[in-house]
Amino acid sequence: MSKPKRARIQDVATRAGVSNMTVSRVLNQDTKVSDAKKRLVLEAVEALNYRPNVSARRLASNKSFFLGLLYFDTDTSYVSKFLLRGLKSCRASGHHLVADEIDDNLERSIESVKELIEVTQVDGVILLPPVCDMPEVLDALQNANVPFVRIAPDSQLTLSPYVCIDEYQAGFDITELLIKQGHKKIGHIIGNPNQGASRLRYQGYLDALRSHQINVPPEYIEQGYFSYDSGLTAAKKILELDDKPTAIFASNDEMAAATIAAAHMKHLSVPSQLSVAGFDDAHLATTISPHLTTIRQPIQGMAELAISILTSGKHSEISKNSVNDFRHVLDFEIIERGSTAVVE
């Protein structure tokens, strides 16, 4: 049985009703192409499963059509969701995404970053937290003159374009939701201290309580690290208290899921005896019971925007005079599900 023929640029052009040159311009992120024609071309690319000839495109444009993604695997669900959408977005624009992990062996990791740059000649790199704030990684990219976009950085906010949400406001709003449900005893499990988002979500939690004149005992607050195990340890400590909180806001969904598990171990009913809220709206938010009330962070949209900035050349057009030129803030959304309830 013969293999189906690989789609050619001519096939895409015919299906989209445009010229070969228009297809080429769309794939090379040429802004002169109208949105209508761009949409037709991308739909044809998807329908035909078209894969551009990378070697030919490199010769024609002096680009590698490779992008890098650097991550530190503290939150598997976050990284996976970002990576999957990143792969899809790259495929639509004719690029390839190469992911590499930064681990505790920083010296080895930096060598891996340098090798990634040398071997693939990446056109740009996306840095997930906490990699986005690691000076050694930032120095390596700058020394190699490689453009990069950071996701939710906490420092040097005029160093590169970055994509984020309002972490502080999200932490404030999810805590205020619990307050409006009648909760006055609300605990919190802080995220990994090496990520700025953890501090901002924690500050939002504290300020929401203060704005309603609610005092929080220090024992209601425990340190986590965005992992299930750390969330379980922290939740158990909080739920061992004689005067337990009636609600706990965990700084991500994995720790929130662990909090629900800890409640079950203590024979506490969720949400009638303990309300639990998380952050991210990861896949597990709707696979655990009860389903998790959480902040829906637009991880997929963040991936798409980061890739768009790199592939369109927008990273080279920003002004050095304004922080606003670097910052791209996306909206978040509170998703109410069965893990929280009004205090009876």
pLDDT value of residue 6: 75
Asked if 62-165+299-312 and 167-296 have one fold, the answer is yes
| pTM recorded for the entire structure | 0.79
For the chain, give every domain's residue range.
9-50, 62-165+299-312, 167-296
Edge-first strand listing for the sheet containing 186-190: 221-223, 186-190, 247-250, 275-277
Q: How do residues 248-277 score in pLDDT, each as one tens digit?
A: 999 999 999 999 999 999 999 999 999 999
CATH superfamily of the domain spanning 62-165+299-312: Response regulator (3.40.50.2300)
pLDDT value of residue 23: 82
Q: Does domain 167-296 have CATH number 3.40.50.720?
A: no
Q: Report yes or no: 181 and 343 within 8 Å, Cβ to Cβ.
A: yes
Q: How do residues 269-320 score in pLDDT, each as one tens digit?
A: 999 999 999 999 988 999 999 999 999 999 999 999 999 999 887 555 544 5
Q: How do residues 119-154 score in pLDDT, each as one tens digit?
A: 888 999 999 999 999 999 999 999 999 999 999 999
Q: Report yes or no: 327 and 157 within 8 Å, Cβ to Cβ.
A: yes
Q: How do residues 81-121 score in pLDDT, each as one tens digit?
A: 899 999 988 888 788 899 999 988 988 999 989 998 888 88
pLDDT at residue 29 above 80? Answer: no
Annotation: CATH topology of 9-50: 434 Repressor (Amino-terminal Domain) (1.10.260)
At residue 227, what are phi and psi to the nearest 5 degrees? -110, 155
* Tally of helices (H runs) and strands (E runs) in the chain: 12, 12
Output b/e per residue, 239-252; b: 16+ Cβ within 10 A: beeeebbbbbbbbb
Output b/e per residue, 74-92; b: 16+ Cβ within 10 A: bbebbbebbbebbbebbbb
What whole-number distance in Å separates Cα of residue 24 and Cα of residue 149? 25
